Amino acid sequence: MTLPFSPAGTNAWAAAGMIAAIVLASTTGEVLTAGAMQSIGDLDEIRARAGLASAIRAVISSSKFLGGVFFLALAFFALLFALNHLALSLVAPASASLTLVTNAIAAKIFLKENVDHRRWTAAVLVCMGVYFLAH
Partner 1 sequence: MAHHRLSPRQYLILGLVALCAPLGDTCLSRGMTSLPHLTLAHPASLLAAVFTPWIAVGIVLLIGFFASYLTALSWADLTFVLPATAFGNVIVALLARFWLHEPISVQRWIGIALITVGVSFVAQGPSLTERPAQEPTRADETAR
The residues of the shown chain that bind partner 1, judged by CB under 8 A, are 5, 7-8, 30-31, 33-34, 37-46, 49-50, 54, 58-59, 62, 72, 76-77, 79-81, 83-85, 87-89, 91-93, 96-97, 99-100, 103-104, 107-108, 111-116, 118-119, 121-126, 128-135
Instruction: Give me the least distance between CB of 44 and partner 1, in Å please.
Output: 7
Q: Determine the length of the chain.
A: 135
Query: Which residue, 1 or 33, has its beta carbon nearer to partner 1?
Result: 33
Q: How far is CA 14 from CA 43, 75, 82, 134, in A?
A: 40, 16, 10, 13
Give CA separation, 67 vs 33, 36, 71, 115, in Å: 8, 10, 7, 24
Beta bridge partners of 11: 2
If the CB atoms of residues 1 and 114 are measured against partner 1, the closer one turns out to be 114
Closest CB to partner 1 among residues 20, 83: 83
Distance separating alpha carbons of residues 52 and 57, to the nearest angstrom:
9
CB of 96 to partner 1, least distance (A): 6
Nearest CB to partner 1, comparing residues 1 and 118: 118
